Structure 1
Amino acid sequence: MNLAATRWRAPAVLYPVGRSAVLAAGCGSIAFGGLLAVGYWVAQGAWRHPWWVVGAVFATWSVVVALALRFWRALPTGDLHWGGAHWELKSAGRSVDGAYLCVHADLQRFMLVRLESADQPPCWLWLERRAHPERWNDLRRAVYSRAETAGINMPLDPSPPAG
């Protein structure tokens, strides 16, 4: 680890996580758009295809909507904590300790991340700036920082010792 990384270490962060109305509205809009597209396809001549093709399209749309709803309902509600070495999630239904974070989508005001621990299955989190705007930049610094490693005792002052 270089001196700059040691000097500008990300602060400890406690950030609220939960189900997002924005994510629900986005998924709902996409599902409704898919239904409109399938409906338009049916209106434009899907009747020319065998009945099972039309049924398969509607069944596929239904399964995708059900999976999106299941994903949204499974999002944990609680607090995400970065202490400098690893991530922790304290939630009513689930607690994850000693985990690391993997960013899957960074949209500046929203982040889709996966919390992974050695002893538990991965946990998906949707993070929003509006959940706690004052801590958003600290959270982003922590997400992109490296974990502290034991045994590194580098001085914070780059000047050589006097003497």
Structure 2
Amino acid sequence: MHGAPSVTYPVGRSRGATRILVVLWALGALCAGASCYLFDSAGWRHVLLVASVLFAGVAAGFGLRQEGVGVLHFDGLCWSLTGGPASRGVHAARASVALDFQSLMLLCLSEPGRARRWIWIEHRAMPERWRDLRRAVYSRAPSAASAAEPWRATAPADAP
């Protein structure tokens, strides 16, 4: 079996991710409003509930504003991200899919010794490379043993 192709893909603000976030926030605000309406004891709990909904909306807005433009690259072994917020790049990372909506994916880039980065990737950013990106994201990382001795990768486990 061949490895996944190397791929370079643009990363930026995602309209699909923004829509999902707005819908989830609106549902939370609706539930908080219904809770305040249905339960009569207006006190500190209602104030706390409304404040938390407002805080979540403001935090989400700031998070969407800071989402920058960058380039995601897979070289066949590891992932890297250049550009983005405060030009803090990610090098030698592993990527895992958190959500997959076929034309919109949420990826988690984890680099040893650093915090995880969560990025949204959209099909519309570069449709001609989308399938290559999906193959690369879902491929297994090659191990050092299989790279040194390719015949071991296909031999049965009980073979001498």
Q: TM-score range by the shorter chain?
A: 0.7 to 0.9
**Which residue of 85, 89, 98 maps to 1:95?**
89
Paired letter, 2:81? L
Letter in 2 for 1:64: A
Partner of 2:59: 67
Q: Contact 1:110–1:129 at 8 Å: present in 2 too?
A: yes
Q: In the alignment, is the contact (CA less than 8 A) between 2:16 and 2:104 conserved in 1?
A: no
Give the number of equivalent residue pairs: 148
Structure 1 gap segments, 5+ residues each: 159-163
Are the counterparts in 2 of residues 111 and 128 from structure 1 also a CA contact under 8 Å? Answer: yes
State the SS of the aligned residue for 1:85.
coil
Q: Is the 8 A contact 1:105 1:111 kept in 2?
A: yes
Per the TM alignment, residue 37 of structure 1 is displaced from its structure 2 partner at its CA by 3.7
Are the aligned partners of 2:99 and 2:106 in contact in 1 as well (CA < 8 Å)?
yes
Residue 154 of structure 2 corresponds to residue 152 of structure 1? no
> TM-score of the superposition, structure 1-length normalised?
0.78
**Paired residue for 1:50?**
42
Report if aligned partners of 1:10, 1:84 keep a CA contact under 8 Å in 2.
yes
Higher percent of residues as helix:
2
Equivalent-residue separation in structure 2 for 1:98 and 1:110 (angstroms):
23
CA–CA distance in structure 2, aligned partners of residues 10 and 68 of structure 1? 34
* Partner AA of 1:25 in structure 2: R
Q: Select between 61-70 and 121-130 the one with higher mean Cα deviation.
A: 61-70
User: What is aligned with 1:117?
Assistant: 111
Deviation of 1:69 after TM superposition, in Å, equals: 2.6
Q: What SS is found at the alignment partner of 2:116?
A: strand
Please give the TM-score of this superposition, normalised by the length of structure 2: 0.79
Q: Secondary structure at the match of 1:9?
A: coil
Match of 2:4 among 3, 10, 15: 10
Q: Between Structure 1 and Structure 2, whose CA radius of gyration is higher? A: 1
The alpha carbon displacement at 1:21 in A equals 1.6
Quick one: which amino acid aligns to residue 69 of structure 1?
G
SS at match of 1:121: coil
For the Cα contact (< 8 Å) 2:70–2:81, is it kept in 1?
yes
CA RMSD of aligned residues (A): 2.3
C-alpha distance after superposition, 1:62-92 (max 9, x if no partner): 2222332343334342110000110010115
Cα 1:31–1:152 change in 2 (3 A) is same
Q: CA deviation at 1:102?
A: 1.9
